[in-house]
Structure 1
Amino acid sequence: MFAAATSFFARTAISQSYNIGGSSSNSGSRSSTPGPAQSPGPSNSTFSGSFTPTVPIGLWKVQSASHKVTNKRVSVWSFDKRSQEMERLGPMAKDRTLEVLKAEASALGRLRHPSILEMVEPLEETRNELIFATEPILASLELAIPSSGRFASLVELDEVEIQKGILQICKGLSFLHSSAQLIHSNICPESIIVNSSGDWKISGLGLTIPLLQPNGTATRWEFPTFDGRVPAYIQRSFDYMAPEYALDEQLVTASDMYSLGCVMYAVHCKGSPPFKTHDSLGGLRECAGRPVPGMDRLDPDLQSLLRALITRHHAGRPTPTLLPSQPFFSSLPISTLSFLDRSTFTAKTREEKISFMKGLAGVLDKFSDGLKTRKILPSLLEEMKDTHLLPYILPNVFAISSALSATQFASLVLPSLKPLFVLKEPPANMLTLLDNLTMLQSKTERGVFRTEVLPLVYNALESEHGMVQERALKTIPDLCDTIDYAEVRDVTYQRVANVFSSTRILTVKVATLATFLSMVKVLDQSTLTQKLVPMLANIRTKQPAVMMATLSVHEAMGAKVDREAVATLVLPQLWAMSMGPLLNVTQFQRFMAVIRQLADRVEKEHNQFLRDSQRIEDMSATAMIGSSSTQAITGSVDFENLVGRGAASSSNTQAPSLEDDPWGSIFNDTNAKPTKLPNPIASPVMASSPPLQAQSLPSSPKPSSHYQPSRLNPSTQSTSFTNSPVQRSNTGFSSVPTLQPTNLATTFQPAIQQQKPNYNISLPTSPPSNGFPPVLGSTSINSLPLMPPMMGNMLTPSKPSQPSWGSSSSKPSKDDWGDFDPLL
């Protein structure tokens, strides 16, 4: 309970309002000076979504944090009073340490300047810790120096970055010296902070020296000492201390410029100061006035500047306001950054801004990606409020955005571009956006592009400027391959069609036809035939450019739509357009070539269609004849027998086809042996037989038991026949099918056997009332079996028929037929 109560009272407003280092509380920490590998927190950088680790700056542990309500990012600085380092200190050293740390935090809250670290939450002190919050930071300069810093990967320190940072520190020192009347007295890499935007900020203000006391008198000089029993962070570093302060007992603002010169040397020399004093006054006295070593490997302009700053006497040192005019800072990138500074750029005239934006594109490659993203891009986005500057700002914005990730682009650039997508004036704005549409599509997600960026194209199509419409139309073919088909069919196509129908500009009309040509491969046949073809039919202009562009669209559609649409919709339009009075010979020949090509396609495909249709009809008729014949014999089809017969037939050898046995099953007799038919030409009987005469076929309610159809052997007999239509009456048949052999002379060989016929047929003598033989078992005359024509007289009995089919119960005998043989 005591521990819980202690933890409750130890909580601060910062720990309650912020999520610190990924947790909701930061109280109770007992760790010593943290290392770089401690728990990571949310990113401080606005431009990167990565996590920044806990950063040790002196005795402070700096962690990333975000506000629980507003999600504002900050860096929380905390000092644990119970750390091991504090345990080793005596009472006076502890008090001195807490005094300097509190003075540092208090000075940050009191001094407000863009080059001084900004405090967000004031210092809070509990029983166990000191805590305050500042703007998001990345690291101290000491930790970011290349080849020496532990956090160098978080900060890009190229030459332009260094020059920019030094100039920012100069501005901060100028504020301290002139406005605050303070001497920092401890400028070193550890007291310079690099924030999340890459700016250099002054910190470590716990050892500042006021030039004047509250009563107006000059501040007394204090002898500098270095106590090894006290943490080095709360003491001035002799390696960066000006000689006049330590040796001449002078309090002057130029001492900070000496320290700044040592910082510049250390940044260019992997963190090593110009002199090693070993934190002693004697070492400082020994090094004072000596030439700075290792200057020969530095840039000549930098050498000249360092010699002016790192001197024994302060009189010749440049002031913070004069330092930017040195040749070292006269490079074009530094001049560009200075001109683009937000504090002064807003005061420039529009003509100066336009000239600057035009020349900026040629200088961007001299900046690092981080510097362009952190420093240049925010200034450009802020200036986009002036629509007259947009045509000159947007090319630079897109050049910088090309190096951004999709996430960075969506969070940084896209919100500023959205209001521009609906602006139609000036037209150069639309043209620039359309020229970079591919980059916009690559930097945004599919859904975001459709809802946020695609309206730019639609608004451009509605522009009053033909150049803007043409540029928008040129972007659509690439969009059709990436956006959803429903969007292309329902929205994009309709927008292009509206432009096609309303424009009176010839180039725009041709551009819309070129767009239609690219959309043919995407749109479905229904849209092409129902929407696009009728719209093209309404073209009234006879300009050759429009005619030839329309021809290309029809040619592409002709290869995609069906033959009927080509024959009835496309070809008529092409014939009509080919008669245009303004076409030359070459253009007319081009029309004729396309017309012939499409006509050949229609002819070929329709011929094939008719052949397929005829084949299907023949197969259907053949199948119907076979099924009808079977039903005529067996009556109704029994499902069980049908299934069983099908299963049995699947296991047996394949049955002869109807083509091999055109007579079907009317002569089916398993006991009969196949008999060769005589040659109708060679046989005198068959040659003299008259053709089949029309006659009424009698029927009976019950077929005769002597009716045993015999199936001809397909291996010995094969022929083809054509049916003549049969008219059916109520009393019978007015005619019977006339079966004409196609080539009986070669099909039927003369093989006349004088034995008795291989089947017995008993016919009734009187037809039934319905006039239809029930033995057929079918209601269609097409189900009648096919028989050769010579069988007409053969089936006529030699004796007259009986008076009635059912008048006698006795069955017809063999004598009733005499010597009748149907094959003779």
Structure 2
Amino acid sequence: MDYFHKFKSTVSQVAAQVSNALPGNPLTREYDVGEQIGTAGPGLHWKIYSGKKKSTQQPVAVWLFERRDMDKWSKEDKEEFTNTIKKGVSTLTRLRHPRLLVIEHAIEESRDSLAFCTEPIFASLANCMGKRDNFSTDPSHLNDFAFHDVEIRHGLLQISEALAFLHIDARMLHRNVCPESILINDRGAWKLGGFDFTIQGTPAPNNSVTFDSTEYNESRPAVCQPTLDYLAPEYALGGKIAPFADVFSLGITTFAVFNKGQVPMRHNGRLDNLKRNADKFKSVPEACMTNIPFALRDDYKQCLNYTPDLRPDATQLTKIAFFDDPLVKTLSYFESLMQMDNQQKMTFFKTLPQVISRFEKRVLIQKVLPFLSGEFTTPDLIPFILPSVFIITEQATQKEFTSSILPSLIPVFTLQKPYQIVLLLLQKMELLLAKATEEDIKKHILPLIYNSIGSDTTRIQELCLAIIPTIGKLVDRQSMKNQLLPKLLKLATEGSVVAIRVQALMCLGKLLPTLESWMVTEQVLPVLPKITSKEPGVLMSILGIYKLAFESDKVGVGREQLAKSALPFLMTTLVENTLNLHQFEQFLALVKSMMGRVEKEQRTRLQQLSAGEEAQRGVPNFDTIAGAAATGGGDKKISSDLADIIGGAAIAPKQTGGALSLEEKKRLASEHNRNGGGPMNGVASLTPSTSSSMARISPVPASTSKVGSSMDPFDSLLISSSSSISKPSTGPAFDMNRFLSKNGESFPIRLIVSYYYNALPSSSTSSSFFPSLAPPPPSSTPTPILSSAFPPVPSPMGSVFGTVPSSMNTVPSAANPLFLPQPPRSSNTPIQRVGGGVSSLDSLLSFPSQSKSPMNALAKPLLPSSTIKSQSSNADPFADLLG
């Protein structure tokens, strides 16, 4: 049974149970009284309670004697007993020795009680052996209590040492060595008390001491005299009283310890019975030896010898073989620690783990642990003490650890120097976590880990990183955000050792399931690209974190973070030379998975947008705008935007009517004046066409050309330009044969184009397409566009065509956007015919005719009537053709 733990727990449960136990006693002003824990003294009349000093919270034992217990006694007996116990307390108060009960507060007297305070008590020896007299409640901490062998050995040794002090140093006889006078304190030490019947020695010659003989008086109350069953025979037979009488009493007490409180002979309070039984001790009966350990029997017989001088004295008794035990010596060594220097203590604590495992658990907690924790005040000794503390912790239950061991370790958790303290605690962290409660872990152990992460010792950092994943669930949000994660990330980025960086990253990966999603996305992932180490271990650890975060439904890494942060870093890492093939494939697989998710999510998002939102977000389709302009659709806004896009020629707005406004006429006149004031070459048509305007900016596919591979540049320009113009749905069909004379000679090309210009509807042609081919004014003479001075150029038709002289205007302009070559204005040289028949240029300009009807059978020219009249006054070279 866990007796010591029961004692410790019950002490703290009933702090006010006996609040009325000391009515009016001055002791209550300074001490709080708890529950009853034992009884002691003559007749067990002293009640012992747990208590604490109010000012310092120091634990004590409060001794109480209530006068009402003597209500049936005579007045003389009351006075005698009161004087006896007061004398015993006063005598003990004056004495100081480690083996004597320590008095903390002198006796206080009131009308109803007597009280004093001592060091904390577990119980009296009589209580431990089964005597429960004068208890108000059942002492649960004493149920099924039994001593261990080492406790008895060490306890008897301690009482022997106490008697040696009394006999030699104090020169006193105790006269009442019995279980009621022996107290066991909270550390398991046996202390001698009950000094009610002590006799002070008188100095004699030869440095000796004599003691007055006092016989037992049956007429007096038994509680006012020593316990008769434990007295030596000489008290009944008369004669010399010496310290050997206390040794005899210790022998009887030893018998009681090994026989559950029984004594060899009971005298029933009668002196004559003691006299009759005294002769039996001339030869100790075998019945008295049954339960005595074999190692003690010889010395035990000697203590019970009938002749006092044949008994060993107290000093000799402390040196018997029964006490020569390693465990007893170890306990004795603890008691002498105060006399050692630090070097001797270190030597002792180094060898202690080899012996400490042989102790019983209660002995370790009750007797050994207090000595160990008492040395925690010296930091240099703590690394040598902790291994023994861990052995005790392994044997303790969780309640025992929480109540007895952990309180002594709490101050140690805050120490960082010497570093071996932290190192040992971290090495045994698994044990501490298993024994401590969750509340104690959060309050005391986790701060130790937080502080240790920043240590400069690599081994301590490694231990912390190995422990943190096991305690991740116990870390609260605030501590995780402000203490744990920043320190882990700092190790991962700034760690001086690669192994620490790798382990820090692995620790972060193991913590991911316990982290909140925002901690991962806002604290962990943004730091990973900042890690400059390119060692394979570091890179693969980073990959593991990315993979866990990417695959975790709880984290939910968004496509933007993947695209802007994760993927650029991973793509860069792919080409690191430190990766082998297998590692490269792992990186590549994750990159592909991330790309797939980004593509899927972005595609889904775009598909979910409405048509109106898409139109507002996107750029208008260029083909749609161009198509709308070509078909006459759209408005001025679209036309203006398109002009801004192509940055060149303006797109003429669609006219709402046939007539020009005054402003447009002024603009055309101004352009005419800027071009030299001559014929309106390059002047925009008075009836602009959207189709011809679009033809200026529409590219011409190569497939539209029907000419061979070798072609004159000018011819190809005409053909490609004519093929890209949207032809009007109505108008005269063009037949080149109409322009051939009867003898097969062709007309000048300007006349042909001029006729074609006049024959087409106004909406299907524009001077902006052939600005240099605009019809001249009626009064002007047609000017040939080609000169015979041109050098011959091979033609695919077998004829030659002149090259363009340098004086021709080939620079693009608003009037000539298609780079068409322009003839010099001063040249009036007619076209020179080369050979007979149709020229190569004429043949290129002749289009297949769908009808053989004459030209005049087609629709009428759409030129203004005024223009037609002005032209009719001059000689028309085509008059015979037009019939």
Bin for the TM-score computed over the shorter chain = 0.5 to 0.7
Query: CA separation in 2, counterparts of 1:730 and 1:360?
Result: 113
Query: In structure 2, which of residues 495, 498, 507 is the aligned counterpart of residue 506 of structure 1?
Result: 498
Query: In structure 1, which of residues 394, 398, 406 is the aligned counterpart of residue 390 of structure 2?
Result: 398
Equivalent position amino acid for 2:530 in 1: N
Shift of 1:597: 4.1
User: Aligned residue for 1:433?
Assistant: 425
Shift of 1:378: 2.0
User: Aligned residue for 2:82?
Assistant: 98
Query: In structure 2, which of residues 355, 358, 362 is the aligned counterpart of residue 366 of structure 1?
Result: 358
Shift in alpha-carbon separation, 1:52–1:596, aligned structure 2, 3 A: farther
Shift of 1:62: 3.3
Aligned residues: 586
Shift in alpha-carbon separation, 1:418–1:188, aligned structure 2, 3 A: closer
Query: CA separation in 2, counterparts of 1:237 and 1:533?
Result: 81
**Please, which moves more after superposition, 518-527 or 188-197?**
518-527
Matched, 1:116 2:100: yes
User: Aligned residue for 1:237?
Assistant: 227
User: Aligned residue for 1:174?
Assistant: 164
Matched, 1:299 2:293: yes
Contact 1:542–1:581 (CA under 8 A) maintained in structure 2: no
User: Aligned residue for 2:305?
Assistant: 311
Shift in alpha-carbon separation, 1:567–1:445, aligned structure 2, 3 A: same
Shift in alpha-carbon separation, 1:28–1:549, aligned structure 2, 3 A: closer
User: Aligned residue for 2:742?
Assistant: none
Equivalent position amino acid for 1:470 in 2: E
- In the TM superposition, what whole-angstrom CA distance separates every residue of 1:496-526 from its partner, at most 9, and x where no partner exists? 1122222221111111111121232233444
Shift of 1:263: 0.8
Query: CA separation in 1, counterparts of 2:39 and 2:656?
Result: 110
Query: In structure 2, which of residues 64, 72, 82 is the aligned counterpart of residue 87 of structure 1?
Result: 72
Shift of 1:260: 0.8
Query: In structure 1, which of residues 217, 222, 226 is the aligned counterpart of residue 213 of structure 2?
Result: 222
Query: In structure 2, which of residues 123, 148, 155 is the aligned counterpart of residue 158 of structure 1?
Result: 148
Matched, 1:582 2:578: yes
Contact 2:357–2:391 (CA under 8 A) maintained in structure 1: no
- In the TM superposition, what whole-angstrom CA distance separates every residue of 1:603-639 from its partner, at most 9, and x where no partner exists? 55556x35xx636749999xxxxxxxxxxxxxxxxxx
Contact 2:282–2:305 (CA under 8 A) maintained in structure 1: yes
1:517 alignment partner, SS class = helix
Shift in alpha-carbon separation, 1:53–1:494, aligned structure 2, 3 A: same
- In the TM superposition, what whole-angstrom CA distance separates every residue of 1:379-431 from its partner, at most 9, and x where no partner exists? 21222233332222122223334566778766765565455445443332211
1:372-411 superposed matches below 5 A: 372-401=364-393
**Please, which moves more after superposition, 307-316 or 170-179?**
307-316
Query: CA separation in 2, counterparts of 1:615 and 1:381?
Result: 70
Equivalent position amino acid for 2:340 in 1: K
Query: CA separation in 2, counterparts of 1:487 and 1:117?
Result: 48
Matched, 1:200 2:196: no
Structure 1 stretches lacking a partner, 5+ long:
1-18, 30-40, 44-50, 622-692, 697-728, 732-824
Query: In structure 2, which of residues 277, 280, 283 is the aligned counterpart of residue 290 of structure 1?
Result: 283
Query: In structure 1, which of residues 118, 133, 149 is the aligned counterpart of residue 117 of structure 2?
Result: 133
Query: CA separation in 1, counterparts of 2:576 and 2:172?
Result: 89
Contact 2:173–2:198 (CA under 8 A) maintained in structure 1: yes
Query: CA separation in 2, counterparts of 1:226 and 1:318?
Result: 28
Equivalent position amino acid for 2:72 in 1: E
User: Aligned residue for 1:517?
Assistant: 509
Equivalent position amino acid for 2:571 in 1: W
User: Aligned residue for 2:558?
Assistant: 562
Contact 2:159–2:192 (CA under 8 A) maintained in structure 1: yes
Query: CA separation in 2, counterparts of 1:295 and 1:594?
Result: 83
Contact 2:47–2:65 (CA under 8 A) maintained in structure 1: yes
Query: CA separation in 2, counterparts of 1:217 and 1:540?
Result: 87
Query: CA separation in 1, counterparts of 2:633 and 2:578?
Result: 73
Shift in alpha-carbon separation, 1:27–1:540, aligned structure 2, 3 A: closer
Shift in alpha-carbon separation, 1:153–1:568, aligned structure 2, 3 A: same
Contact 2:33–2:62 (CA under 8 A) maintained in structure 1: no
1:384 alignment partner, SS class = coil
Shift of 1:556: 1.2
**Please, which moves more after superposition, 276-285 or 436-445?**
436-445
Contact 1:20–1:63 (CA under 8 A) maintained in structure 2: no
User: Aligned residue for 1:107?
Assistant: 91
Structure 2 stretches lacking a partner, 5+ long:
1-14, 26-31, 615-630, 635-654, 658-883
Contact 2:204–2:210 (CA under 8 A) maintained in structure 1: no
Shift of 1:330: 2.4
Equivalent position amino acid for 2:39 in 1: V
Shift in alpha-carbon separation, 1:695–1:201, aligned structure 2, 3 A: closer
Query: CA separation in 1, counterparts of 2:511 and 2:122?
Result: 51
Matched, 1:484 2:469: no
Contact 1:21–1:64 (CA under 8 A) maintained in structure 2: no
Query: CA separation in 2, counterparts of 1:332 and 1:193?
Result: 24
Query: CA separation in 2, counterparts of 1:598 and 1:480?
Result: 28
Shift in alpha-carbon separation, 1:540–1:26, aligned structure 2, 3 A: closer
- In the TM superposition, what whole-angstrom CA distance separates every residue of 1:166-195 from its partner, at most 9, and x where no partner exists? 122122111110111111111111111223
2:47 alignment partner, SS class = strand
The structure whose Rg is larger is 2
Contact 1:510–1:546 (CA under 8 A) maintained in structure 2: yes
- In the TM superposition, what whole-angstrom CA distance separates every residue of 1:766-798 from its partner, at most 9, and x where no partner exists? xxxxxxxxxxxxxxxxxxxxxxxxxxxxxxxxx
Shift in alpha-carbon separation, 1:307–1:428, aligned structure 2, 3 A: same
- In the TM superposition, what whole-angstrom CA distance separates every residue of 1:426-463 from its partner, at most 9, and x where no partner exists? 33221112233355556667666555443322332222
Query: CA separation in 1, counterparts of 2:303 and 2:214?
Result: 23
User: Aligned residue for 2:590?
Assistant: 594
1:463 alignment partner, SS class = coil
The structure in which a higher percent of residues are helix is 2
Query: CA separation in 1, counterparts of 2:468 and 2:118?
Result: 49
Contact 1:240–1:259 (CA under 8 A) maintained in structure 2: yes
User: Aligned residue for 2:236?
Assistant: 246
User: Aligned residue for 2:128?
Assistant: 144
Shift in alpha-carbon separation, 1:75–1:274, aligned structure 2, 3 A: same
1:602-641 superposed matches below 5 A: 602-603=598-599, 609=604, 614=607, 617=610
Matched, 1:467 2:453: no
Contact 1:78–1:131 (CA under 8 A) maintained in structure 2: yes
1:473 alignment partner, SS class = helix
Query: In structure 2, which of residues 194, 201, 216 is the aligned counterpart of residue 211 of structure 1?
Result: 201
Shift in alpha-carbon separation, 1:380–1:60, aligned structure 2, 3 A: closer
Shift in alpha-carbon separation, 1:270–1:545, aligned structure 2, 3 A: same
Equivalent position amino acid for 1:508 in 2: I
1:538-549 superposed matches below 5 A: 538-549=530-541
Query: CA separation in 2, counterparts of 1:695 and 1:541?
Result: 62
Query: CA separation in 2, counterparts of 1:382 and 1:217?
Result: 40
Query: CA separation in 1, counterparts of 2:113 and 2:378?
Result: 49
Contact 2:492–2:531 (CA under 8 A) maintained in structure 1: no
- In the TM superposition, what whole-angstrom CA distance separates every residue of 1:48-98 from its partner, at most 9, and x where no partner exists? xxx434636423333444444444443333434454x45343x54444333
1:476 alignment partner, SS class = helix
Query: CA separation in 1, counterparts of 2:141 and 2:401?
Result: 22
- In the TM superposition, what whole-angstrom CA distance separates every residue of 1:750-777 from its partner, at most 9, and x where no partner exists? xxxxxxxxxxxxxxxxxxxxxxxxxxxx
User: Aligned residue for 1:60?
Assistant: 46
Query: CA separation in 2, counterparts of 1:380 and 1:695?
Result: 99
**Please, which moves more after superposition, 194-203 or 143-152?**
143-152
Q: So what's the TM-score if we normalise by structure 2?
A: 0.60
* CA RMSD, 1 decimal: 3.8
> What is the percentage of aligned positions where both structures have the same residue?
29
